[in-house]
């Protein structure tokens, strides 16, 4: 087993949902946490909670992963003790809208591609060279079942998550011959703010996605991420796909109202 105590774990998109749950799981394991997101207040609240509950050593960065200059500067400006990242969890991501691809706005397309694909690559290119130099490190990408299939209205989002799968497999090959590890954890339906963001703040529509079924919790996903990171150094978990029992494919979800 790889002991996570005092390891430095960088989690992007840690102000809510899966990212915040990963921060909690790694804090429980005794890791030091570097957390980023755009919403400073939400991020600070997560950090304060972890300090209080787990006496965790936490450093926060208000950062938009879509801004490559900001990402590179933020990393370069970290105190040296916070640069030697052992585990990078590339979690920041979102979906915008549920329209056919031909009806998506430019803003929706750019936001999804820039965050889920380009942002992930910007953070990776900031952090991985140091891992290679130090001869240790683990990149864990948060993909999705949307990276294994497609569903109507999810075309662009699914394309970005297919890209995350390609980046995971490609990066592992790029790092061939080094001790670095690369994994992807690909969940199905998880109850987070994901649908609230997808539906532009329409809480009623977002709640309906989760209220009629039994989705995964962010903690379920964080458990898989922490498990991946804690395997012995010679074990690389390439991919974990986890779905609620009530889900059998990206678009097959057992819902309470199905029988009616
Ligand atoms: P949430 O909306 O709860 O969390 C998304 C996180 O990403 C927030 O912390 C948000 O913080 C951050 N984020 C978004 N854009 C940026 C940005 N440009 N720069 C920095 N941080 C950003 O959703 P989830 O927890 O569900 O999503 C986390 C990941 O899990 C995503 O990659 C998503 O695609 C993936 N996923 C989600 C599933 C689900 O059903 N919920 C299933 C499969 C995968 P802030 O707004 O403060 O910047
Ligand atoms: C998020 C899960 O099914 O809404 O990746 O695309 S889904």
CATH of the domain at 167: 3.40.50.720
Give the residues of the chain that fall short of pLDDT 50. 259-260
pLDDT of residue 258: 63
Nearest bound ligand to CA 149? 2
Q: How many angstroms separate the CA atoms of 38 and 20, rounded?
A: 13
User: If DSSP codes are grouped into helix, strand and coil, which group holds residue 186?
Assistant: strand
Residue 223 lies in a domain: yes
Q: 56 CA to middle of ligand 1, Å?
A: 22
Residue 63 lies in a domain: yes
Ligand 1 atom nearest to 65, measured from its CA: 19
- CA-based end-to-end distance of the chain: 48
Owning domain of residue 232: 8-253
State if residue 144 touches ligand 2 by the CB under 6 angstroms criterion.
yes
Residue 61 lies in a domain: yes
Residue 259 lies in a domain: no
State if residue 213 touches ligand 2 by the CB under 6 angstroms criterion.
no
Residue 73 lies in a domain: yes
Q: Which residues line ligand 1 (CB under 6 A)?
A: 12-19, 37-39, 42, 63-66, 91-94, 115, 119, 142, 144, 187, 189-190, 192-194, 197
State if residue 119 touches ligand 2 by the CB under 6 angstroms criterion.
no
b/e map 152-179, b = 16+ CB within 10 Å? ebbbbbbbbbbbbbebbeebbeebeeee
pLDDT of residue 124: 99
| 168 contacts 89 by C-beta, under 8 angstroms | no
State if residue 250 touches ligand 2 by the CB under 6 angstroms criterion.
yes
State if residue 146 touches ligand 2 by the CB under 6 angstroms criterion.
yes
What are 114's two structure tokens? 């820039």
What is the separation of C-alpha 180 from the centre of its chain, rounded to a whole number of angstroms? 19
Q: How many angstroms separate the CA atoms of 202 and 205, rounded?
A: 6
Q: What are the two backbone dihedrals, phi and then psi, of residue 8, each rounded to the nearest 5 degrees?
A: -95, 120
Q: How many angstroms separate the CA atoms of 187 and 225, rounded?
A: 11
Identify the CA nearest to 169 among candidates 182, 157, 179, 185: 182
Q: How many angstroms separate the CA atoms of 143 and 157, rounded?
A: 11
Q: How many angstroms separate the CA atoms of 88 and 102, rounded?
A: 34
Nearest bound ligand to CA 191? 1
Q: If you average pLDDT over every residue of the chain, what do you get?
A: 97
Report the half-sphere exposure of 220 (CA within 13 A, side-chain side): 17
Q: How many angstroms separate the CA atoms of 228 and 101, rounded?
A: 34
Residue 144 lies in a domain: yes
Active-site residue, 157 included = yes
Residue 1 lies in a domain: no
Identify the CA nearest to 42 among candidates 4, 92, 96, 8: 92
| 133 contacts 86 by C-beta, under 8 angstroms | no
Residue 26 lies in a domain: yes
Task: Name the active-site residue from 2, 59, 122, 157.
Answer: 157
C-alpha to C-alpha distances, 221 to 67, 129, 167, 197, 250, nearest whole angstrom: 27, 27, 20, 19, 16
pLDDT of residue 260: 40
Q: 51 CA to middle of ligand 1, Å?
A: 22
The count of structural domains within the chain is 1
Q: How many angstroms separate the CA atoms of 217 and 32, rounded?
A: 23
């Amino acid at each position: 087993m790889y002991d996570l105590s005092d390891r430095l774990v960088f989690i992007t998109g840690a102000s809510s949902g899966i990212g915040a749950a990963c921060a909690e799981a790694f804090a429980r394991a005794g890791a030091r946490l570097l957390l980023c997101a755009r919403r400073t207040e939400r991020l600070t609240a997560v950090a304060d909670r972890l300090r209080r509950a787990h006496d965790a050593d936490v450093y926060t960065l208000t950062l938009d992963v879509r801004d490559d200059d900001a990402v590179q500067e933020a990393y370069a400006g970290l105190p040296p003790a916070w640069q030697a990242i052992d585990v990078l969890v590339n979690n920041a991501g979102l979906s915008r809208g549920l329209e056919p691809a031909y009806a998506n706005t430019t803003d929706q397309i750019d936001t999804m591609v820039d965050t889920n694909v380009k942002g992930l690559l910007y953070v990776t290119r900031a952090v991985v060279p140091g891992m290679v130099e130090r001869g240790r490190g683990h990149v864990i990408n948060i993909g999705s079942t949307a990276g294994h299939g497609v569903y109507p209205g999810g075309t662009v989002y699914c394309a970005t998550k297919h890209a995350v799968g390609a980046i995971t497999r490609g990066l592992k090959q790029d790092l061939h011959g080094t001790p670095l590890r690369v994994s992807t954890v690909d969940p199905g339906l998880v109850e987070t703010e994901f649908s609230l963001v997808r539906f532009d703040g329409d809480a009623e529509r977002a709640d309906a996605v989760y209220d009629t079924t039994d989705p995964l919790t962010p903690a379920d996903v964080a458990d898989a991420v922490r498990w991946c990171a804690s395997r012995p150094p010679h074990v690389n978990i390439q991919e974990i796909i986890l779905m609620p029992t009530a889900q059998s494919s990206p678009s097959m979800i057992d819902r309470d109202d199905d029988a009616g």
